[in-house]
Amino acid sequence: MTEVPVGTPTSQNEAILGTDRDCPTFLTNYTGKTITVNEIRHMFKGKPTSTKTDFSLDNHQRVAVFTSYYETGAGTSFDYWYIDFTDGEDTYTVPSNFYCSLTKFDEGMNVELSFDLELFYVNPPQSSSCRKTLDKS
């Protein structure tokens, strides 16, 4: 049996339709407070690929949250990101239509997610970073 590196198309159809990839994903809190993350989620093709719920995060704390699974190639979709957290007084969420796509160059490297009380950031290792204003309620 021949071993094929992750992310390598194994057939002509896979090269045309897309290649499965993944990245370790981390989250850092820059709010100045200890917060409770109600949910952090990565979605691809309209379906959650990775979710973590109900955990505390101290200010400046960085934690591994999950592995983000995605595809690259023709006919693939966007990577959507969602966060919902509370600081004990207010709840903050990113609009559900926020996307920031990963590329083949990001595969296997750390995706850094972070937030303060105004913005949520997605920082892929190689492709373009994105940010979105949080809704406060």
Give tens-digit pLDDT for 86-137: 999 999 999 888 999 999 999 999 999 999 999 999 999 999 999 999 999 9
pLDDT value of residue 11: 44
* 134 contacts 115 by C-beta, under 8 angstroms: yes
Whole-angstrom Cα distance, residue 101 to residue 12? Answer: 24
Instruction: Determine what percent of the chain is predicted with pLDDT higher than 70.
Output: 88
| pLDDT tens-digit series, residues 27-86 | 999 999 999 999 999 998 888 899 999 999 999 999 999 999 999 988 788 899 999 999
Structure tokens at 111: 């995706």
Give residue 73's pLDDT: 85
In this prediction, residue 35 carries a pLDDT of 98
- Domains of the chain are 20-57+66-136 (2.60.40.3820)
